[in-house]
């Protein structure tokens, strides 16, 4: 798994397994079959494509849009949009959505 600690420009599409400790300045997306761990910040929306895996321990200031991936939120997100009822986003007890604890 690749680790990124710097600030990245947007839009950014992650196409290989990545742990982000840094920041994406704007929107980002996770490609299918990619494992993504966010311990940093996405300052826009984060889209998780069908078949991707994401763990959010950091912060997404915009929307977390789950198009059919396996997503767990333990950090902070602005809002959650699940488009596939069979793949709902899991909110851990430590998660905050729009400033409210899960």
Q: pLDDT tens digits for 38-84?
A: 999 999 999 999 999 999 999 999 999 999 999 999 999 999 999 99
**pLDDT band at residue 33 using 50, 70 and 90 as cut-offs:** very high
At residue 83, φ and ψ (nearest 5 deg) are -100, -10
**pLDDT band at residue 86 using 50, 70 and 90 as cut-offs:** very high
Instruction: Give pLDDT, residue 20.
Output: 97
Instruction: Give pLDDT, residue 101.
Output: 84
In which residue are the tokens 């078949």 written? 51
**By percentage, how much of the chain surpasses pLDDT 70?**
100
In the structure encoding, which two tokens stand for residue 10, read together? 């947007």
In the structure encoding, which two tokens stand for residue 53, read together? 């895996």
């Amino acid at each position: 798994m690749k680790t990124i600690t710097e600030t990245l420009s947007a839009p950014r599409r992650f196409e290989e397994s990545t742990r982000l400790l840094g920041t994406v300045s704007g929107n980002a997306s996770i490609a299918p079959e990619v494992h993504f761990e966010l311990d940093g910040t996405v300052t826009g929306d984060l889209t998780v494509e069908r078949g991707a895996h994401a763990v959010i321990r950091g912060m997404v200031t915009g929307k977390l849009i789950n198009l059919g991936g396996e997503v767990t939120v333990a950090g902070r997100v602005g809002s959650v949009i699940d488009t596939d009822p069979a793949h709902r986003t899991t909110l851990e007890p430590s998660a905050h959505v729009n400033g409210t604890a899960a």
